[in-house]
Amino acid sequence: MDRTSTPEPVPSQPGPSGPALRTVAVVGLGTMGTGIAEVLARAGREVIGIDVSETAAAHAHRALEAATARAVRRERITEEERRAVLARFRTSHELEAAADADLVIEVVPENYALKHEVFTALDAIVRPAAILATGTNALSVTRLAADSARPERVLGLHFFNPAPAMRLVEVVSSVLTAPAAVTAVTELARELGKEPVAVGDRPGFVADGLLFGYLNQAAAMYESRYATREDIDAAMRLGCGLPMGPLALLDLIGVDTARTVLEAMYTASRDRLHAPAPILGQLAEAGLTGRKSGRGFYTYEAPDSAVVVPDERTPDAGARGGGEAREVRAVGVAGSGTMASGIAEVFAKAGYAVVLAARSAEKAEAAKARIAKSLTRSVEKGRLTPAEREAALAAITPAGSLDAFAEVDLAVEAVAEDLAVKQQLFAALDKVCKPGAVLATTTSSLPVVACARATSRPRDVIGMHFFNPAPAMKLVEVVRTVLTGDDVHATVRAVCARVRKHPVDCGDRAGFIVNALLFPYLNNAIKMVQEHYATLDDIDAAMKLGGGYPMGPFELLDVVGLDVSLAIEKVLHREFRDPGLAPAPLLEHLVAAGCLGRKTGRGFREYARR
C-alpha cells in the first residue's frame, strides 16, 4: 500500500559468479507487478513480465522507461546503465515464458481461484528447482502450497506499493516451505535494497495485519457519524504523524481490496475488530472503490487521480458550530506539568494574557521557568525572535491558587488524568471563574460530561485535547458533550485558529478520535508478540518501513508509558465492551512488574539510565 515516500534503493551489483535467482518472472503487470519488475531489473536480474493484457504489458514498458529516465535526470544512474536495465526487461502474454525462471513472483488480483489456476499452470512449466512466490497479503500461502505440486518451493513475497520506494518485504513461509527457499528469497530481498521480515502464514501478516484493523475502525467511526472524514484523517495525520489519514488510505488501497483483506482476517481471527465495517461493503458493491474508480470515501477529479474535489459530504467551514464565539482575551491554565507548561506557552505566544496556576507559587514559578527554557530553544533554532520570547514570557503570570482565574475568559485544566481530581478542580473553577467564562478539560480518555456535571454551568464546559508536546503538535480534539453550548464550541474553534492549531470535532466518548484508533492498534501489536508471531524489532520495522509510521508500536508504547497505555486500553474496553479491546495480558504483566517504559528504564525494551 502507498504509505510514504522514501529514497529509491541503490541497485546491488552481481557477485563474481553472478547473482542468485538470476532470472525472475513477474506474473501480473498491474501497478505492483510493474514496480517489482523495475526493482528487479535495476538490481541486475533478467526479468520476464507476464500479463494476458497487451495494454498492461505496454504500460509496464512505458513505466520502466519513464522511471529510468527520471533516475538519469536525477543522476542516480547513467544513460548506459538505463539502457542495460531496459534490456533486462521483456514481456510476454504466455505463462510459458517463465520456463527458465529461477523465481516466479505472482501478483495477480486477490482471488484464490485465479491464483490457484496460475500456480497449477506454473507447476507444469517451470524447472524443478524454481521457487514460486505469491504476492498475496490476504489469502492463505499454505493452501496455495498444499495445492501445488511443489509445496516446499512455494512461499509468500509481499512487497509494498510503490515497490521501488518502499523498503519492507515480508517473506512468508508456511509449514511446508523448505528453509533453503526462504533463505534464497530473503537474500534476494536484501540485494534489492529491501528490509526482509520473516513471518508466518496468517492474513495480513505483520504490517497489514495491524494496519487493516485500524483502517476498519476508522471506517466504522466515519459510518457512525462520530466525526467527518476530513477530521478523522486530519486527526491521525497531525496527532500521530502518519503520512496519510485512514480514509484517504483506504481509497488509495481500494475499498474492495480492503474488504477482501478484512474478510480473510476475520475468518482467521473471529475478532469483531476485523469484521469489515458495513460501509466498506456498501461502497464496494456500488463500485465506489476509491481512487481507481474516482470515488470512495472521497470524490476525485477522475479515476486514478489523487486530486480530491468537493462533493455533497464536504463540510461547510462556515457552518460549523452554529453559534457566535465569545471574546477571549485572558486564559487561565491549571497545572504545572509538561502539558500545562506547553499549553501556557502556546497561548502566550499567540498574544493571550495567561495565568498559570499551580498548587503552590513555587510550582507555578518552576513551570514558568520551564517555559522560559523552551522559548530560549525556539530562539536558538530561529523559530522566535528574542523580542517575541520576552513578550511571551511577560504575558505569563504564575499563581499559587485558582483564585487568580477570576477574570479569565477561558480556563483550561491540565492536571492529573484522574476523574475525581478533575471534578474537584471543575467545582473550584465554577466558584472562581466569572459568568460566561469557558471551562475546558484536556483529558484524553475521561468523560468530559462528568467534569461538566461538577459545575453549575455544564453548557460552558468543553474538551480541548492538546497533544504532547503542545507547542509542536498542531492537533486539538474539540470535544462537545450533549450539554455544551454552540457558542462555547464556536469560541474554542476560534481560539484554536488564533493559536494556529488544527481543531477536529468529536463527541464525548472514550478515546475521542486519535486514541480510539491508535490504542487498539498498539494492543494488537502486543498480541502479535504475545502469540510469538513476530518479534518486537520485526513489528516495529514493518510499521515504519511498510506503513510509513514515524515510530514502531513498541517504541511508541515505551515513550507513552505502559501504565498510561494500559489505563487508556481499560477505558476503551469499559466503554465499548468489545472483547477485542481487552488489554493484552502481556501489557498488564509488564505494568504489574513496574516495567513502564523509558521513564523506568525498562518496558518492552531496556534503556540506559540517565
Question: 36-89 pLDDT, tens per residue?
Answer: 999 999 999 999 999 999 999 999 999 999 999 999 999 999 999 999 999 999
Whether 17 has a pLDDT exceeding 50, the answer reads no
Contacts of 319 (CB under 8 A, 6+ apart): none
pLDDT of residue 321: 55
- Provide the total of helices (H) and of strands (E) in the chain, helices listed first: 22, 18
pLDDT of residue 320: 61
> Three-state DSSP class for 461?
strand
Percent of the chain with pLDDT over 70: 96
Question: What is the length of the chain?
Answer: 610
Q: Which residue has the cell 474496553?
A: 573
pLDDT of residue 609: 72
pLDDT of residue 7: 36
Whether 104 has a pLDDT exceeding 50, the answer reads yes
pLDDT of residue 8: 38
Q: Which residue has the cell 475478532?
A: 271
pLDDT of residue 322: 67
Mean pLDDT of the region 237-258: 95
Banded pLDDT at 315 (limits 50, 70, 90): confident
Is 515 one of the catalytic residues?
yes
Angle between helices 338-349 and 361-380 (to 10 degrees): 60
Mean pLDDT of the region 242-250: 96
Q: Which of 137, 220, 261, 139 is nearest to 581 (CA)?
A: 220
pLDDT of residue 319: 58
Q: What residue type is assigned to position 43 of the chain?
A: A
Is the N-terminal amide bond of 162 cis, ω within 30° of 0? Answer: yes
| Cβ contact 312:325 at 8 Å | no
Give pLDDT tens digits for 118-158: 999 999 999 999 999 999 988 999 999 999 999 999 999 99
Q: Which of 352, 366, 363 is nearest to 412 (CA)?
A: 352
Whether 10 has a pLDDT exceeding 50, the answer reads no
Whether 92 has a pLDDT exceeding 50, the answer reads yes
Residue 208's CB is within 10 A of a number of other CB atoms, namely 25
Mean pLDDT of the region 597-602: 95
The three cell numbers of residue 314 are 464536504
CATH superfamily of 208-313: N-(1-d-carboxylethyl)-l-norvaline Dehydrogenase; domain 2 (1.10.1040.10)
Give pLDDT tens digits for 147-204: 999 999 999 999 998 999 999 999 999 999 999 999 999 999 999 999 999 999 998 9
Contacts of 192 (CB under 8 A, 6+ apart): 9, 12, 39, 40, 43, 169
Whether 4 has a pLDDT exceeding 70, the answer reads no
Per DSSP bridges, beta strands 46-50 and 353-357 are: unpaired
| Cβ contact 223:279 at 8 Å | yes
More confident residue, 264 or 10: 264
Residue 351's CB is within 10 A of a number of other CB atoms, namely 13
CA end-to-end span of the chain: 39
CATH superfamily of 330-507: NAD(P)-binding Rossmann-like Domain (3.40.50.720)
d(CA 224, CA 541): 33
23-200: CATH number: 3.40.50.720
d(CA 281, CA 458): 40
pLDDT of residue 1: 42
Check whether domain 514-600 has CATH 1.10.1040.10, yes or no:
yes
The three cell numbers of residue 482 are 450533549
d(CA 499, CA 496): 5
CATH 3.40.50.720 in the chain, residues? 23-200, 330-507
Banded pLDDT at 465 (limits 50, 70, 90): very high
d(CA 418, CA 567): 11
Residue 447's CB is within 10 A of a number of other CB atoms, namely 20
d(CA 463, CA 466): 9
Using CA of residue 67, residue 68, residue 70, residue 71, what is the dihedral sign? Answer: positive
pLDDT of residue 16: 37
d(CA 329, CA 149): 76
d(CA 47, CA 37): 6
**Quick one: DSSP state of residue 288?**
-
| Cβ contact 353:397 at 8 Å | yes
Q: What residue type is assigned to position 127 of the chain?
A: R
Give pLDDT tens digits for 418-464: 999 999 999 999 999 999 999 999 999 899 999 999 999 999 999 99
Banded pLDDT at 469 (limits 50, 70, 90): very high
CATH 1.10.1040.10 in the chain, residues? 208-313, 514-600
Q: Which residues of 100-123 are buried (b: 16+ CB within 10 A; e: fewer)?
A: ebbbbbbbbebeeeebeebbeebb
Banded pLDDT at 334 (limits 50, 70, 90): very high
Mean pLDDT of the region 600-606: 97
pLDDT of residue 473: 96
pLDDT of residue 19: 64
Q: What residue type is assigned to position 489 of the chain?
A: H
Contacts of 393 (CB under 8 A, 6+ apart): 348, 368, 371, 372, 375
Q: Which of 522, 402, 412, 405 is nearest to 466 (CA)?
A: 412
**Tally of CA atoms within 13 A in the half-sphere of 285 that contains its CB:** 5
Per DSSP bridges, beta strands 46-50 and 330-334 are: unpaired
> Three-state DSSP class for 478?
strand
Is 465 one of the catalytic residues?
yes
pLDDT of residue 161: 87
| Cβ contact 227:235 at 8 Å | yes
| Cβ contact 132:163 at 8 Å | no
Angle between helices 386-394 and 361-380 (to 10 degrees): 160
Give pLDDT tens digits for 534-584: 999 999 999 999 989 999 999 999 999 999 999 999 999 999 999 999 999
Q: What residue type is assigned to position 238 of the chain?
A: L
Catalytic residue among 158, 274, 465, 489: 465
Catalytic residue among 148, 174, 341, 444: 444
The three cell numbers of residue 488 are 462555547
Catalytic residue among 170, 345, 413, 477: 477
pLDDT of residue 105: 98
Q: Which of 547, 553, 545, 566 is nearest to 604 (CA)?
A: 553
